[in-house]
Amino acid sequence: MVPLLKYTVLRLALFVAALAALAWFGAGPLVAVIGAGVVSMLVSYLLLRGPREDLSRQVSEVIDRRLSRNGHVPSADTAAEDAADDAQRAAKTDPDQRS
């Protein structure tokens, strides 16, 4: 729950800051709200990568726990795809492990 709260608060703070900046520069109410939404979306994509990945990891863990509790067994294709994704991520972070 903490990553969700953290990410939400940071996104709202970016929206409010963008809204205040656009209102201060004299934008109309509708333009300020729409502009703040667009600006906060773009800035959050650039600046909030860490909190977004934490939230994604938490959601993934919750889904995995629920699926395993219900007896869901991943298929061989899913396991192979996950292994390929993990290998690709490892290659991106460690340039010495390229094949």
pLDDT in tens, 43-94: 999 999 999 999 999 998 888 888 887 776 666 677 778 788 888 888 877 6
Distance of CA 17 to the CA centre of its chain: 20
In this prediction the pTM is 0.66
Q: How far apart are the first and last CA of the chain?
A: 39
pLDDT at 28: 92
Radius of gyration of the chain (CA): 20
